[in-house]
């Protein structure tokens, strides 16, 4: 709870009804998905709760966020901002904190059709934004987390791979003008939005150096360096006709499949064959989706219940599957893309399972267009998290996957993580094959302490293998401990990151639990 006088000052900013420091609310906000194994990895008790915040505050505007942040500086209280709030990264690292739940900031500020971008507030979900941009024949980049996740959070603060990344890229690379409440309370407007005269959102870089490089990296700062209140993100051509008709009931809605969309699921002989196929297909710039998934993951993306997952066991025998979806706006474009695929199938000696051995539910196509395939990861155990997350060439990603297999099998044999034959992987191309990323989704039982511990240990061992074998940097290198461990192996980057934190957050109020502290250990 907050001291009465401090509570009053926060209430004066957001209104009495928009702050709660009562036990019920603060305890509820201490829960999140996957926090238990994060606790374990940080040598804490593996419970599904973070430290309990002193209060939960719901600001409604940038100015209110600014005032809340200024007050946090005044009383040296840390703040943790969250948008749609998925995952442990939304949790405070100390009980001397308040949560800024940004759900009241839920407006689509602008869809700029002529300049191909949209401006959103934190609580606008991908689904909400996509539904609006589709009206103009435009699409958004949605992260693998799914359409319910905040567009702003993915672009400014988290990671950003998505199933449509061959055409829509990576969140961090799609950022334009941004409004950012710095940890000290100043409002920084990036690029053309920082102009005194006629500020606008079309560019996030300059004048001179681009502060986007401070704002985030391959992954974001997860509220460790202030609060993002509005962001402009690039829009892309919608890949096919925009009619989107769903009928029926959950979990298997009936979707009217657009005229010009087609899926391919092929099995490559080995990783070498997979790499070649992946690169060749992407060089042709035709794919909306081009993802390598483990055979288990292929089973999952076509399943809507645990029972139906078991029905797909035949997919489990695939060696190195590749899932490709092509889509087109016109028949001419569609015919051309199909012709290219026919040509490539012959060149690469591939056979499409779709249409020959298996026909997916129509809903599969809706989920491709809505980037909703990721949620199938929850079907097996309800709990899953990805190890790995490196991003560079296809060869590096596949090597990391290959080397991870025996490690994963070791933990499967221990009985602490689910049996996916050790293969669990999702790998996508970006920007028509200019780079690739791979992560290794792993299923565990969040309600079983041994499983949680096993997951934590597996993650640690997997990270360490990447470090020692030069297999790139996984997603979740965050917090002092991991930065200090990895920094010396990566040009001592942690020292630079720490300098950034120190100079932009001199009072250390922006919770650095998933970032880095200005002074080591000052989390």
Partner 1 sequence: MNNDNFLQNLTKICGSQNISQDPKDLKDYSKDLSFLKGKSPLCIVWPSKSQDVTKIVKLANNLKFFVIPVSSDSKFKHHGDSLPKKDNCIILNLSRMNKVLSIDRKNRVVMVEPGVTFDQLVPILKKKGLRLLLPLNPTASRSVLSTALEREPITIPKYHWDSSDPLLCTEIVFGTGDLFRTGTAAGPGTIKQQQKMGQAQVNPMGPTQFSPFRVIQGAQGSLGVVTWVTLKLELLPSTQKVYHFQSDNIQDILDLQYELLKYRLCDELVILNNINLACLLKQNQQEISELVRTLEKWNLIYIISGRGPLAKDRISYLEGDIDEIIAELGLNFSEPNVEISDKEILHFLNEPCGKPWRMRLKGAYQDILFLTSFEKIPKFISLMEANYEKEFGVYIQPINQGTSYHVEFDLHYEPENDNVVKTIKEKILDIGNRLMDSGAFFSRPYGIWAKDVFSHHSAETIDALKKVKKIFDPNNVLNPGVLCFDD
* Ranges within 388-447 binding partner 1 (CB under 8 A): 390-396, 398-399, 431, 433-435
Quick one: which of 439, 457, 478, 480 contacts partner 1 (CB under 8 A)? 478
The DSSP bridge partners found for residue 383 are: 444
Instruction: Return the residue of 209, 249, 356, 521 that touches partner 1, per CB under 8 A.
Output: 209
For residue 5, with 0-12 CB atoms within 10 Å meaning exposed, 13-18 middle and 19 or more buried, which class applies?
exposed
109 lies in the site for partner 1, by CB under 8 A:
no
Residue with tokens 């932009």: 504
Nearer to partner 1 (CB atom), residue 181 or residue 297 = 181
Q: Helical H runs in 216-317?
A: 271-283, 295-301, 306-311
Single out the segment in contact with partner 1 by CB under 8 A; choices: 27-35, 92-100, 124-132, 233-241: 233-241
| Binder among 251, 270, 503, 520 for partner 1 (CB under 8 A) | 503
Q: What whole-number distance in Å separates Cα of residue 478 and Cα of residue 90?
A: 13
Phi, psi of 248 (to 5 degrees): 90, -155
Per-residue CA distances from 167 to 289, 395, 435, 518 (Å): 8, 21, 12, 38
Considering CB under 8 A, how many residues would be counted as binding partner 1? 101
User: Which residue of 52, 116, 131, 134 would you call a contact of partner 1, by CB under 8 A?
Assistant: 116
Pick between residue 370 and residue 399 the one whose CB is nearest to partner 1. Answer: 399
Q: Binding of partner 1 at residue 176 (CB under 8 A)? A: yes
- Which of 77, 325, 516, 523 touches partner 1 (CB under 8 A)? 516
- Footprint of partner 1 on residues 237-256 (CB under 8 A)? 237
From residue 255 to residue 294, what is the string marking binding to partner 1 with x (rule CB under 8 A)? Answer: ------------------------x---x-----------
| CA torsion, ordered 200, 204, 208, 210, to nearest 10 deg | 160
Among 251, 343, 351, 355, binds partner 1 (CB under 8 A): 343
First to last CA, the chain: 20
Q: Find the binder of partner 1 among 114, 247, 249, 317 (CB under 8 A).
A: 114
**Smallest distance, partner 1 to C-beta of residue 430, A:** 8
Q: How far apart are CA 140 and CA 164, in angstroms?
A: 9
Do residues 426 and 436 lie in contact, with contact meaning Cβ atoms separated by under 8 Å? no
Using the rule CB under 8 A, give the single segment among 198-206, 247-255, 256-264, 352-360 that binds partner 1: 198-206
CA atoms of 493 and 207, how far apart (whole Å):
25
Q: Is 335 in the site for partner 1 (CB under 8 A)?
A: yes
| Helix, strand, or coil (residue 64) | helix
The residue among 38 and 55 lying less far from partner 1, judged by its C-beta, is 38
Site track for partner 1 across 35-54, x = CB under 8 A: --------------------
Token readout for 365 is: 């196509």
Degrees to nearest 5, angle at CA 278 with 255 and 377 = 50
């Amino acid at each position: 709870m907050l001291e009465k006088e401090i509570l009053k000052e926060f209430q004066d900013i957001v209104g009495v009804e928009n702050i709660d420091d009562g036990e019920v609310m603060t305890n509820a906000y201490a829960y999140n998905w996957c926090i238990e194994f994060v606790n374990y990895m940080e040598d804490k008790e593996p419970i599904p709760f973070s430290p309990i915040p002193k209060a939960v505050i719901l600001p409604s505007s940038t100015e209110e966020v600014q005032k809340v942040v200024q007050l946090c500086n005044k009383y040296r209280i840390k703040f943790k901002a969250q948008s749609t709030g998925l995952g442990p990264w939304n949790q405070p690292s100390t009980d001397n904190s308040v949560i800024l739940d940004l759900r009241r900031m839920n407006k689509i500020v602008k869809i700029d059709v002529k300049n191909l971008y949209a401006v959103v507030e934190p609580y606008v979900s991908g689904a909400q934004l996509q539904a609006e941009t589709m009206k103009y024949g435009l699409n958004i980049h949605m992260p693998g987390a799914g359409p319910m996740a905040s567009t702003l959070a993915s672009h400014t603060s988290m990671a950003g791979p998505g199933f449509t990344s061959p055409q829509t890229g990576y969140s961090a690379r799609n950022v334009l003008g941004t409004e950012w409440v710095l940890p000290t309370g100043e409002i920084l407007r990036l690029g053309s939005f920082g102009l005194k005269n006629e500020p606008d959102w079309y560019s996030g870089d300059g004048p001179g150096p681009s502060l986007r490089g401070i704002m985030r990296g391959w992954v974001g700062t997860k509220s460790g360096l202030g609060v993002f209140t509005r962001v402009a993100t690039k829009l892309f051509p919608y890949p096919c006709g925009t009619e989107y008709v769903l009928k029926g009931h959950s979990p298997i809605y009936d979707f009217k499949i657009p005229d010009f969309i087609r899926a391919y699921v092929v099995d490559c002989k080995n990783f070498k064959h997979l790499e070649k196929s992946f690169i060749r297909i992407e060089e042709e710039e035709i794919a909306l989706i081009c993802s390598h998934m483990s055979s288990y993951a292929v089973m999952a993306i076509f399943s809507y219940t645990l029972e139906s997952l078991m029905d797909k066991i035949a997919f489990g025998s695939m060696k190195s599957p590749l899932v490709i979806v092509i889509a087109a706006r016109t028949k001419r474009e569609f015919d051309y893309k199909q012709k290219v695929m026919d040509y490539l199938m012959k060149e690469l000696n591939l056979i499409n399972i779709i249409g020959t051995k298996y026909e997916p539910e129509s809903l599969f196509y809706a989920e491709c267009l809505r980037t909703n395939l990721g949620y199938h990861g929850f079907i097996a155990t309800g709990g899953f998290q990805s190890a790995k997350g490196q991003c560079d060439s296809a060869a590096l990603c596949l090597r990391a996957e290959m080397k991870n297999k025996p490690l994963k099998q070791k933990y499967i044999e221990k009985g602490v993580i689910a049996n996916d034959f050790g293969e669990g992987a999702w790998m996508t191309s970006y920007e028509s094959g200019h780079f690739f990323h791979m992560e290794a989704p792993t299923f565990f039982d969040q309600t079983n302490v041994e499983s949680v511990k096993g997951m934590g240990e597996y993650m640690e061992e997997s990270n360490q293998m990447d470090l020692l074998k030069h297999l790139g940097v996984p997603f979740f290198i965050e917090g002092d401990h991991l930065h200090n461990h990895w920094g010396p192996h990566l040009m001592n980057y942690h020292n630079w990151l720490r300098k950034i934190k120190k100079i932009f957050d001199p009072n250390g109020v922006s919770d650095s639990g998933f970032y880095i502290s200005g002074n080591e250990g000052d989390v």
